[in-house]
């Protein structure tokens, strides 16, 4: 079937074109709202600027298909193959992309607001500037989580997205908007979050070992039991952060702001806290063995029962701080 026949039959009211061989078909700008293309082979097709609102594309094959500017609002894209597809500027708002294959897809500036991406494979995809506000990528079962390993999410808008348990190891999240995002239990090992905004985000039980968070905003972020070993948090803002029982061994926190942060029982051993601001912070029972606190500001900090005997406190200020023995430093 060629493009003219499909368009003519659709114009007459026919919408079921499931299971057809339409490889390489040219449907540029076609109006195909609510069409049924379930299990259809559309590999390398041209669907640029096509209207596919509420289209049925369950298990369809759109590998290497051109979908720039296409409208796929509320489309059924479950188990679809979109690997190597070009979705630059496509509208996928409210689309169902559960178990979709989006490996190496180009989603530059795409609209994925409120999309369901559970178990989708976005490994190696380009998500630069993508809008994922309210999107659902959460892990419901261990085998049911979106794969975003090494994905490019530079300047992406993920505000309020549910990404609990998602694999973002090695992902590029520089300058991304992650305000109020749920990343509980997510794997962010080696991810680059430089200058990302993580204010009010949930990262409890997440793995951020060796992650880069230079100048990132983590104010009021929930970081309970987080792994941040050997991470780079230079000049990061962690004011009012809550991170009890976390591991930050050999982490670089030089010039970071931890004002009023709650870091009870945190392992800071061998971490670099050079010139860090720890005013009014809570470090109760913290482990600061061989920690570098040179020129740090610990005014009014609570260090009750903290281990600081081998820490480097050269030039640090401790005015009004509660010392490990419970005394108040004058």
What is the separation of C-alpha 145 from the centre of its chain, rounded to a whole number of angstroms?
A: 13
Whether 174 has a pLDDT exceeding 60, the answer reads: yes
* pLDDT exceeds cutoff 90 at 146: no
The DSSP call for residue 329 is P
What was the pLDDT predicted at 292? 98
Rounded distance, CA 111 to CA 129, Å?
9
**Looking at the predicted structure, is the pLDDT value of residue 190 above 70?**
yes
pLDDT in tens, 263-277: 999 999 999 999 999
How large is the average pLDDT for residues 172-189?
96
Which residues are paired to 141 by β-bridges? 144
| pLDDT value at 140 more than 80 | no
Q: What is the pLDDT of residue 71?
A: 98
The answer, yes or no, to whether residue 245 has pLDDT greater than 80, is yes
User: pLDDT tens digits for 32-67?
Assistant: 999 999 999 999 999 999 999 999 999 999 999 999
State both tokens at 271: 């971490």
User: In this structure, what DSSP letter does residue 118 have?
Assistant: T
Instruction: Give the integer Cα–Cα distance in Å for 283 and 238.
Output: 14
The b-or-e profile of 172-196 (16+ CB within 10 A means b, else e) is: bbbbbbbbbbbbbbbbbbbbbbbbb
Residue 145 has pLDDT above 80, yes or no: no
Per-residue pLDDT, averaged over 182-201, amounts to: 97
Q: What is the pTM of this model?
A: 0.90
Percent of the chain with pLDDT over 70: 98
Q: What is the pLDDT of residues 114-130, one digit of tens each?
A: 999 999 999 889 999 99
Tokens of 18: 């499931």
CB 301 within 8 A of CB 280: yes
Element (H, E) at 3: helix 3-11
What is the average per-residue pLDDT within 256-266?
98
Q: What pLDDT does residue 41 have?
A: 98
């Amino acid at each position: 079937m060629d493009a003219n026949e499909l368009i003519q039959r659709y114009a007459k009211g026919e919408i079921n074109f499931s299971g057809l061989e339409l490889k390489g078909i040219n449907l540029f700008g076609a109006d195909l709202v609510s069409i049924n293309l379930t299990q259809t082979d559309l590999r390398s097709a041209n669907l640029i600027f096509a209207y596919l609102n509420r289209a049925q594309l369950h298990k369809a094959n759109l590998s290497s298909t051109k979908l720039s500017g296409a409208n796929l609002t509320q489309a059924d894209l479950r188990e679809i193959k979109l690997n190597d597809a070009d979705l630059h500027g496509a509208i996928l708002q409210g689309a169902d992309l559960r178990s979709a294959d989006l490996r190496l897809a180009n989603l530059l500036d795409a609209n994925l607001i409120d999309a369901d991406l559970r178990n989708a494979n976005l490994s190696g995809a380009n998500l630069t500037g993508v809008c994922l506000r309210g999107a659902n990528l959460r892990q419901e079962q261990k085998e049911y989580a979106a794969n975003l390993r090494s994905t490019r999410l530079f300047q992406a808008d993920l505000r309020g997205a549910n990404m609990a348990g998602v694999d973002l190891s090695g992902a590029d999240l520089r300058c991304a908007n992650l305000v109020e995002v749920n990343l509980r239990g997510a794997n962010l090992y080696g991810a680059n979050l430089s200058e990302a905004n993580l204010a009010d985000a949930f990262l409890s039980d997440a793995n951020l070992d060796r992650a880069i968070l230079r100048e990132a905003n983590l104010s009021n972020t929930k970081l309970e039991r987080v792994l941040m070993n050997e991470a780079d948090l230079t000049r990061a803002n962690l004011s009012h952060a809550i991170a009890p029982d976390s591991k930050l061994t050999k982490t670089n926190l030089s010039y970071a702001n931890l004002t009023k942060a709650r870091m009870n029982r945190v392992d800071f051993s061998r971490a670099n806290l050079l010139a860090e601001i720890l005013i009014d912070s809570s470090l109760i029972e913290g482990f600061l063995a061989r920690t570098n606190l040179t020129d740090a500001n610990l005014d009014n900090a609570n260090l009750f029962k903290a281990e600081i005997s081998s820490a480097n406190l050269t030039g640090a200020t401790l005015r009004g701080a509660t010392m490990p023995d419970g005394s108040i430093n004058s």
